[in-house]
Structure 1
């Protein structure tokens, strides 16, 4: 016996409606969806740009310090500087600055390396504060959309004579709920991205401190 399965037009229509439900919901979020969309794009752009920048900054060759140490111990300061110039990382720039100050008092060398480290840290943390701001601002904008949406709903109730139909209130309630949900999603993602980037920066800062201390110790070794 063969079973014939037929699909009614009603089911097809319902499936087509479900396929655009998410878009419809977002479009019914009202004007508050515009700043939320801008914040979401900005957060994604900052996160991607910072990930690429931090990843590039962390790509210091494994044998970098060993080569620099060997050349410094052999008196080849210019060769050590060339290695630093060929290595485009914060650690290399800090060591290069220290090499350029060899012959000065140790405190002067330490201060020079520390100043370069501060500049590199500023570059690594660029726009992280903006990402943190987005993580807090997006939910607040979403809550503002909730307030404006509920105001619209109550205005509709006040202007309607007689019984109020759910369809009449749908636009205000849509805006109230959707903006809150979207704002929270953007805020959570931005917050997680911010903490991830901060952890990566801190890991790189520890590596910078370790290598700078290692370089200072090298200069104090007897020759």
Structure 2
């Protein structure tokens, strides 16, 4: 009986010592938590152009967004005032209203009003030319977002490939083919691919959002221009 108790005590003592050693090892082990900022820094020099593309894309998007949104405001009151002035024969008042509106539609109608007295085709042509100019102003720099959406992922893949090349170069110099060396360097370099794809996706979405907004403005301008031409043709019917 005494021998059995001694064996149990010895086993318990060994288990306690093992637990203490495990606890000490866990306490002194380095933390393996991934921090977003550290990953960005470890991405290397390729993260710099990707970051520049991200900032450029955001600046263009917000600048164009507010510009297009301003151009798409409701101009129904402007059309009412222009119609009222034309019906009363006061063209100077209609021109002044269009000039003061400071909007794409206002500039289109102003050009048409200044052509009154000429054939309808000439008036339509003048309005169409101004409309094209206004649309080109709205579309300014939107194409850059498309470029960002295309080249940002390429920069990301370039960073990953450069990282893989460096990993195999280090292996050839040190003759160390351990999985830790390969996977450790590779996951860091793949951060560039993730960053490039993220920037590319955001730029792609922003590009199409702005294009849809411009299309809505174009449709509205065309509708109002047709209404204006119909208004000019009413007295001659």
Structure 2 CA distance for aligned equivalents of residues 70 and 169 of structure 1? 75
Identify which range, 163-172 or 152-161, moves more after superposition.
163-172
Structure 2 CA distance for aligned equivalents of residues 139 and 43 of structure 1? 14
Pair 1:121 & 2:148 matched: no
Alignment of 1:1-223 (within 5 A): 14=31, 18=33, 21-164=35-178, 166-167=180-181, 170-175=184-189, 177-222=190-235
User: SS state of the match for residue 63, structure 1?
Assistant: helix
| Structure 1: runs of 5+ lacking an equivalent | 1-8
Structure 1 CA distance for aligned equivalents of residues 186 and 85 of structure 2? 71
Q: How many residues are treated as equivalent by the alignment?
A: 211
Structure 1 CA distance for aligned equivalents of residues 211 and 133 of structure 2? 17
- 1:159-209 superposed Cα distances (whole Å, 9 cap, x missing partner): 12355361476345412x101000000000000001100000000000000
Q: CA RMSD in A?
A: 2.2
Structure 1 CA distance for aligned equivalents of residues 210 and 126 of structure 2? 27
How far did residue 27 of structure 1 move?
A: 0.3
Over 3 Å counting, the alpha-carbon distance change for 1:33 and 1:162 in structure 2 is: closer
Over 3 Å counting, the alpha-carbon distance change for 1:107 and 1:162 in structure 2 is: closer
Over 3 Å counting, the alpha-carbon distance change for 1:162 and 1:87 in structure 2 is: closer
Specify the structure having the higher radius of gyration (Cα): 2
User: SS state of the match for residue 45, structure 2?
Assistant: coil
TM-score (ref. length: structure 2): 0.83
